[in-house]
Structure 1
Amino acid sequence: MPKFYVYLILTLSLQNFILGQTIAKPLNTLDNIIQEQSYISVGETTFSLLFWDLYKSKLLTTTGIYPIQTDKDKLIYQINYLTGISSKDLVNRTVEQWQYLGVEPELYAVYLPILHKIWPDIKEGDSLSLYVNNNKSVFYFNNNLIGEINQPEFSQLFLDIWLSEKTSEPKLRLELLGIKNDE
Structure 2
Amino acid sequence: MPTRPLHLSVALALLVGGPASAQPAPAPMLSAALQDQTLSGSARLRYWGFDVYDARLYVAPGFDIQRFEDQRFGLELSYLRGFKGADIAERSIEEMKGLARLDPAQAQRWQAAMSALFPEVRRGDRLTGVHVPGSGARFYVNGQWLGEIADDAFSRLFFGIWLSPRTSQPRLREALIQSLGGPPRAP
* TM surpasses 0.5: yes
TM-score (norm 2): 0.73
Percent of matched pairs sharing the same residue: 26
**Residue aligning to 2:152:** 152
Alignment of 1:52-91 (within 5 A): 52-63=50-61, 65-67=63-65, 73-91=71-89
Structure number with the higher helix fraction is 1
Tell whether the 8 Å contact from 1:39 to 1:64 is kept in structure 2 after alignment: no
**Residue aligning to 1:40:** 38
Q: Shift of residue 63 of structure 1? A: 2.1
SS state of the match for residue 168, structure 1?
coil
Tell whether the 8 Å contact from 1:48 to 1:55 is kept in structure 2 after alignment: yes
Separation of aligned partners in 2, 1:104 and 1:49 = 24
Q: Which runs of 5+ in 2 are unaligned?
A: 1-24
Q: Shift of residue 100 of structure 1? A: 2.3
Tell whether the 8 Å contact from 1:140 to 1:146 is kept in structure 2 after alignment: yes
SS state of the match for residue 123, structure 2?
coil
**Residue aligning to 2:167:** 167
Separation of aligned partners in 2, 1:85 and 1:146 = 17
The AA in structure 2 aligned to 1:173 is: R
TM-score (norm 1): 0.74
Separation of aligned partners in 1, 2:68 and 2:43 = 23
SS state of the match for residue 167, structure 2?
coil
Separation of aligned partners in 2, 1:147 and 1:128 = 11
Query: Residue 89 and residue 69 in structure 1: after superposition, are their counterparts in 2 closer, same or farther (change >3 A)?
Result: closer
1:141 aligns with 2:144: no
Separation of aligned partners in 2, 1:124 and 1:69 = 29
Query: Residue 60 and residue 112 in structure 1: after superposition, are their counterparts in 2 closer, same or farther (change >3 A)?
Result: same
**Residue aligning to 2:117:** 118
Tell whether the 8 Å contact from 1:26 to 1:32 is kept in structure 2 after alignment: no
Query: Residue 120 and residue 70 in structure 1: after superposition, are their counterparts in 2 closer, same or farther (change >3 A)?
Result: closer
**Residue aligning to 1:132:** 131
Query: Residue 82 and residue 181 in structure 1: after superposition, are their counterparts in 2 closer, same or farther (change >3 A)?
Result: farther
Separation of aligned partners in 1, 2:69 and 2:157 = 18
Structure with max Cα Rg: 1
Deviations 1:90-111 (A, max 9, x none): 1111121122224323443322
The AA in structure 2 aligned to 1:33 is: A
Separation of aligned partners in 2, 1:66 and 1:98 = 21
Tell whether the 8 Å contact from 2:86 to 2:114 is kept in structure 1 after alignment: no
Tell whether the 8 Å contact from 2:99 to 2:157 is kept in structure 1 after alignment: no
Q: Report the aligned-residue RMSD.
A: 2.5
Separation of aligned partners in 1, 2:163 and 2:122 = 25
Number of residues of Structure 1 aligned to a counterpart in Structure 2: 156
The AA in structure 2 aligned to 1:131 is: V
Q: Which runs of 5+ in 1 are unaligned?
A: 1-24
**Residue aligning to 1:95:** 93
Separation of aligned partners in 1, 2:122 and 2:77 = 12
